[in-house]
Amino acid sequence: MEYLDILLNASFWQAAIRIATPLIFGVLGALICERAGVLNLGIEGIFVVGAMSGWMAVWLGASLWGGVAVAAGCGALFGLVHGILTVPLGLSQHVSGLGITMFATAASYYTYRTALPDVTSPPRIEAFKPLDIPMLSDLPFIGEALFSQTAMTFLALFMVLAVAFVLYRTPLGLAIRAVGDNPAAVEAQGLSVYGLRIGAIMAGSALMALGGAFLTMSAFDAFFFGMINGRGWICIALVVFASWRPGKALLGALLFGAFDAFQIRLQNEVGAAVPSQVFLMVPYVLSIIALVLVARKADYPRALLQPYFPGQR
């Protein structure tokens, strides 16, 4: 019965949505890149860049939304590098992505250490506060679970709608989906395959960086080494689970957040009987299970991983 109590507690759902927020950004970002035909394994490093640059901007005196913009911009820049390497140069998307992750992570850590050579405890900023919406935040249950999140969570939820709208209701979205399925057809339409793919990677990378920025500017108020801890890789698994659809991506991230919040509470219930590491493994194990469950029937974008050179058959 205690387990049911956990699920009926509003603070549990509040935690689930909070844990899901960076994943929503990350899965949406990975989804846009892959829909355009490019796997972006730079995601883990771009999360770090977003977390570091957004936090650093605010620490240096920018406003919170200024920090968000800086994070998105830095993410897009790393996306541009990945785009140039994988689209016109047609290099291995796996290796390039891993290279971007290593480069972005090292560059972020180096910048942080160079700017703050001898701090022992990470300096803090005034992070986003939970919104206090009149009426809505006072609603029983829903008010605590949903309407006392920070503004970035609402930005993430808005992005789900925005990405879904662009992908399925605009000519641009049609072109992005087409370039990931059949780039030759897109070229025949007189559209630029390179432009669409690089643009999609930059937009997706900006979203990934927002996921990182959420961690340092909303969930916590400081930057730590190793704080991303595989969240990017989890997003790569979740995007397959979500079959490259924004709505399912939201669902997947929320489900994941709920499982993670549940194991944290379970950990408190069970106490020291089970080693804490067993619980810490849960997110990674869940991601593998999610991937295996859908792997057989996964409908990958048809041109994923395949470089395309205009004018060549």
Partner 1 sequence: MIRIEPRQNVSHLYAFFVPVLAAVAALGLAAIPLYAAGADISSAYVSMWKGAFGSAFAVSELLTRATPLILTGLAAAVAFKAKLWNIGAEGQLYVGALAAVAIGSGAINAPPAIMIPLVMLSGMLAGGLLMLVPTLMKTKLGADEVVTTLLLNFIILLFVQMMLEGPMKDPMGMGWPQSEPMSPEATLPKLFARMRVHWGLIIALGAALLLYIIMTRSVWGFEMRALGENVSAARHAGIPVTATYIKVGLISGAMAGLAGVSEVAGLKGYLTSDISPGFGYSGIVVAMLAGLSPIGVIVAAVFIAAVFVGADSMSRAMSVSNYIADLVVALSLLCVLISSVFVRYKIRFITPRLPKAAREKEI
Kindly list the residues in this chain that would bind partner 1 in the complex (CB under 8 A): 41, 81, 85, 89, 91-92, 94-96, 98-100, 102-103, 105-107, 109-110, 113-114, 117, 229-230, 233-234, 236-237, 240, 275, 277-278, 280-281, 284-285, 287-288, 291-292, 295-296, 298, 309
Q: How far is CA 219 from CA 151, 227, 274, 287, in A?
A: 11, 11, 27, 22
* Residue 17, both tokens: 């949505």
For the chain, helix (H) and strand (E) counts, in that order, are 13, 0
Between 24 and 290, whose beta carbon lies closer to partner 1? 290
Between 9 and 229, whose beta carbon lies closer to partner 1? 229
Distance between CA 291 and CA 283 in Å, rounded? 12
Angle at 72 between CA 60 and CA 137, to 5 degrees: 85
The nearest distance, CB 112 to partner 1, in angstroms, is 8
The nearest distance, CB 145 to partner 1, in angstroms, is 29
3-state secondary structure 16-62: HHHHHHHHHHHHHHHHHHHHCCCCCCCHHHHHHHHHHHHHHHHHCCC
- CA dihedral defined by 205, 186, 240, 84, rounded to 10 degrees? -30
The nearest distance, CB 82 to partner 1, in angstroms, is 10
State whether residue 190 is helix, strand or coil: coil
Between 12 and 59, whose beta carbon lies closer to partner 1? 59
Between 162 and 281, whose beta carbon lies closer to partner 1? 281
Between 139 and 187, whose beta carbon lies closer to partner 1? 187
Between 7 and 95, whose beta carbon lies closer to partner 1? 95
User: Any idea which residue has 């506060």 for tokens?
Assistant: 129
Encoded amino acid at 120, one letter = T
Between 88 and 173, whose beta carbon lies closer to partner 1? 88
Distance between CA 156 and CA 151 in Å, rounded? 9
The nearest distance, CB 237 to partner 1, in angstroms, is 5
The nearest distance, CB 285 to partner 1, in angstroms, is 6
Q: How far is CA 300 from CA 32, 173, 220, 262, 292, in A?
A: 13, 17, 35, 31, 14
Between 31 and 234, whose beta carbon lies closer to partner 1? 234
The nearest distance, CB 198 to partner 1, in angstroms, is 16
The nearest distance, CB 173 to partner 1, in angstroms, is 25
The nearest distance, CB 196 to partner 1, in angstroms, is 20
Angle at 83 between CA 79 and CA 85, to 5 degrees: 120
Closest by alpha carbon to 202, among 56, 92, 78? Answer: 78
